[in-house]
Amino acid sequence: MVRARGLSRTYGDGAQAVHALREVSFDVAPGEMVAVVGRSGSGKTTLLNLVGGLDRPDAGTVVVDGTDVSALDDDGLSRLRRESVSYVFQTFGLLPVLTAAENVGVPLRMRRTPVAEREQRVALLLDLVGLREHAGQRPGELSGGQQQRVAIARALAASPRLLLADEPTGELDADTGRAVMALLRALVESEGVTVLVATHDPVMMSLADRVLRIGDGRLQP
Ligand code: ADP
Ligand code: MG
């Protein structure tokens, strides 16, 4: 599902240059849940952004679901983000004026999914994340854990092949984070999605199929 080869990314140049990633190579098989683990500043977000096409590498290639992401133009990257890859962020990233149900439906609107089908899929996902009773509430009326569950439902709405989650439990207390992680793990199984998740949460690591350790921009053996 993901094949990264020699990925490098440097921010700035000269004496100010920061080598955020240095020749990183790895594979993720379809249906696998892989945790990317490393301390703050080790390059986790940079790695996820290159895989998801939010940023471009200075060197190396990354192929996602058969598409060479590093070779796509802006239209191609937009299509990738609309059709194959979705994101869950630490800060949830929900639209505050939309209800939970409307937030979950956003990716389906972008794909012009017919209304009836969209409403059915939104209802199913809100059920799966245990928020059926909260469909009409706005993010500000929900707890952090509930907001992250909405964000996970939204990320799964358009049936992506790959889900990228950047410290999804970072803003949650330990118990809530654990519940969100277990939910994510269960959804990975039921939806057959591949997941790459950046974390330093030991519980999350134990739920992953495999852990990639990153330090100072390099993967550790
Ligand atoms: P992590 O997600 O593991 O905390 P990041 O990928 O965000 O790590 O950052 C890796 C390194 O790159 C850090 O030293 C960080 O300060 C630097 N960095 C990240 N983004 C930028 C940027 N836009 N401009 C300059 N430096 C950056
Ligand atoms: Mg980060």
Helix count (H) and strand count (E) of the chain? Answer: 7, 10
User: By the 8 A CB rule, do 48 and 164 touch?
Assistant: yes
Residue 46 Cα, ligand 2 centroid: separation in angstroms? 7
Higher pLDDT, 143 or 180: 143
Residue 83 has which token pair?
């059709």
- Whether residue 18 has pLDDT greater than 90: yes
Closest listed residue to residue 221, CA positions, set 17, 14, 12, 25: 25
Helix %, strand %, coil % of the chain (to 5):
40, 25, 30
Can you give the pLDDT at residue 5? 97
Half-sphere exposure of residue 53: CA atoms within 13 angstroms, side-chain side: 26
pTM summary value: 0.93
- Return the structure tokens found at 95: 């639209």
Residue 221 has pLDDT above 90, yes or no: no
Q: What is the pLDDT of residues 191-212, one digit of tens each?
A: 889 999 999 888 888 889 999 9
Q: Which of 36, 46, 91 to mutate to test the pocket of ligand 1 (most atoms within 8 A of CB)?
A: 46
CB within 5 A of ion ligand 2: which residues? 44-45
Check residue 173 and report its DSSP letter.
-
Pocket of ligand 1 (CB under 6 A): 11-12, 18, 20, 38, 40-46
Give residue 189's pLDDT.
Answer: 86
At residue 197, the pLDDT reads 95
Hey, what long-range contacts does 68-76 have (CB within 8 A, 24 or more apart)? none
- Which pLDDT score is estimated for 187? 84
Considering only the C-alpha atoms of the chain, give the largest distance between any 2 of them, rounded to a whole number of Å.
57
Residue 190: pLDDT band with limits 50, 70, 90 = confident
Q: Measuring from atom 26 of ligand 1, which residue has the nearest CA?
A: 11
